[in-house]
Amino acid sequence: MLKKPTIVLNVKTYQEAIGKKALEIAKQMDQIAKQNSASLAIAVQPTDLRMIVEEVEIPVYAQHVDPIKPGSHTGWILPEAIKDTGAKGTLVNHSEHRLTLADIDECIRKAKAYGLETIVCTNNVQTSVAASELESDFVAIEPPELIGGDTSVTTANPEIVKDAVDAIRRVNSEVGILCGAGVKNGEDVAKAIELGTQGVLLASGVVKAKDKVRALNQLVRGLIE
């Protein structure tokens, strides 16, 4: 399972992360993970999963699965197909791809059935606690108003992270807790861990950085120091 604490990079469907460009980012993360014995993971588009899994050792995640089993579901994302690529897990219920409560539960069950780990994304303290009652491996709280912004949630709203950690821990001592939105550097990561999380989920902070290797190295310092 994804080793804690961890940094999970979601490359979304950014122009800078299609095909070979996503592979390049994954390779850079792979090298930095090894150099620092750090736990890093990358979530990529479904079209790139198989290619990237073959080339790196860090865990590769899908960005989404649909709550379906094999059958007549043209164009939807099958959990078993994600498993077949060699991916290690999947994001579930990202703020850009919300699912019904019943489907979040079903996606977690289906992922688990195939040995895929799950990171369920949530938007506030209460939905984070609700999600932590399901059997995902991680809950990642990301206040939507801060996503893609310049200020890290750990600076802009540390209370929401602290409150989510406290509320989740009252009902679930096992689930990994991540936070995200605006996370950009090592201080943000260190602060996230200080607030009780097991790491961060981020996207633009690396993918949109002029120097991605530098951005990744800065982030990792917050993880290992």
113 forms part of the interface with its own copies (CB under 8 A): no
Query: Using CA atoms, how far apart are residues 60 and 37, in angstroms rounded to an integer?
Result: 17
Identified catalytic residue from 64, 94, 106, 117 = 94
133 forms part of the interface with its own copies (CB under 8 A): yes
Identity of the residue, 122 or 157, whose beta carbon is nearer to its own copies in the bound complex = 122
Q: How far is the CB of 205 from its own copies (least distance, A)?
A: 13
Residues 6 or more apart whose CB falls under 8 angstroms from that of 194 comprise none
Structure tokens at 86: 């060699």
What b/e string do you get for 100-134 counting C-beta neighbours within 10 Å, with b at 16 or more?
Answer: eeebbbbbbebbeebebbbbbbbbebebbbbbbeb
Q: Taking a C-beta distance cutoff of 8 angstroms, is the pair 182, 146 a contact?
A: yes
60 forms part of the interface with its own copies (CB under 8 A): no
Q: Catalytic residue at 142?
A: yes
13 forms part of the interface with its own copies (CB under 8 A): yes
124 forms part of the interface with its own copies (CB under 8 A): yes
Q: What does the radius of gyration of the chain's CA atoms come to, in whole angstroms?
A: 16
Given 6, 39, 118, 123, the residue binding its own copies (CB under 8 A):
123
Name the site residues for its own copies (rule: CB under 8 A): 10, 12-15, 18-19, 43, 45-51, 62-64, 68, 70-78, 80-82, 84-85, 91, 93-105, 122-124, 126-127, 129-131, 133-135, 147-148, 171, 203-204
